[in-house]
Homo-oligomer: A and B are copies of this chain.
Amino acid sequence: MSVNTFGRVFRFTTWGESHGPALGAVVDGCPPGLELDEAAIQPFLDARKPGTSKFTTQRREADEVKILSGVFEGKTTGTPISLMIENTDQRSKDYSDVALAYRPGHADYAYDAKYGFRDYRGGGRSSARETAARVAAGAVARLVIPEVTILAYVTEIGGDAIDPANFDAAQIRANPFFCPDAAAAERWAELVDKARLDGSSLGAVVECIATGVPAGWGAPLYGKLDADLAAAMMGINAVKAVEIGDGFAAARLRGEDNADPMRPGADGKPEFTANHAGGIAGGIATGQPVVVRVGFKPTSSILIPQETITREGTATQLATKGRHDPCVGIRGTPVVEAMMALVLADHKLLHRGQIG
């Protein structure tokens, strides 16, 4: 029942503060015999790393992962895998104003209300740097589910959406926005740059599809695959909304338009002629692509002064200095992929344990 551990069978516990010497994850429940080394993890961290474009935060971290346990002669042993990433670029002075007043829309006040006003510096653990540990753990999770392909991309920034007709997966890594629509990527370059110069920020919508998930994963009633995905995504910094398949749009369809009819397919498995369900029915995977959509709010750390209160409770104004993302949804994309991998790996093992 640890609140710093995620997962039921394939589990990971993260540790580390933004301004501490390092952060990391201990991955437990990874089956033995899988090939693993740092090179299997590093690319995912690089995709997430700050400082990769002028559109993301200006903090520069190497984010180099080390594997300290759980691997022998290049393969997982079945024992806990300890991953560590050192923090190399902390600038403590950037947070001096924060120590005195609460940043609106951030977790400062809530953290103080929970942990107490004198002993806790919430920014350390609530910071998005912890997601580096999640991404590293997610890379290990992918080894457990080689049959699955996971792809996440941004479909919308600041209300400006891609055109599904222009969808080209090859574009996703060809621009700084994980955008599958080249035309939208150009518009977003201007949009985000302008927001950055204005000292403002924008929200985003990220979609993630997992193909190759076999029918059967998911454990009703309180281990449902969609419920676990919802928790995993809603738990990412700045996420305020999660949909499966058609999501809220399904709420506006009639039943006969929302059904996914079946035909006989190959190998005795059904072939679905639509996917309104997003690959999950009754909490169990159907074999259709699993489709999740995640809504990120605009970054709370902005340069425009906001009305707030100090720790003593007096009124004040606060504009956050320092280095921040004008659109956290962009760097949230590899995190969404990582959480998808972590939940699916967990459910594969959970199903195997339940059914054999």
Contacts and interface: CB of A to CB of B under 8 A. Distances in A.
A102 B202 CA distance: 44
B2 A115 contact: no
A82 B16 contact: yes
A14 interface: yes
Interface in A74-94: 75-82, 84
B283 A235 contact: yes
A21 interface: yes
A105 B16 contact: no
B3 A254 contact: no
B241 A240 contact: no
Contacts of A302: 255-256, 259
Nearest to A217: B114
Contacts of A354: 3, 29, 31, 78, 349, 353
Nearest to A286: B110
Contact of A2 (B28, B31, B77): B28
A350 B9 CA distance: 10
A300 interface: yes
Interface stretch (A45-53, A121-129, A162-170, A178-186): A121-129
A37 interface: no
A71 B270 CA distance: 28
11 contacts: A3-B28, A4-B223, A5-B5, A114-B284, A122-B282, A195-B254, A240-B246, A251-B297, A253-B297, A255-B302, A269-B313
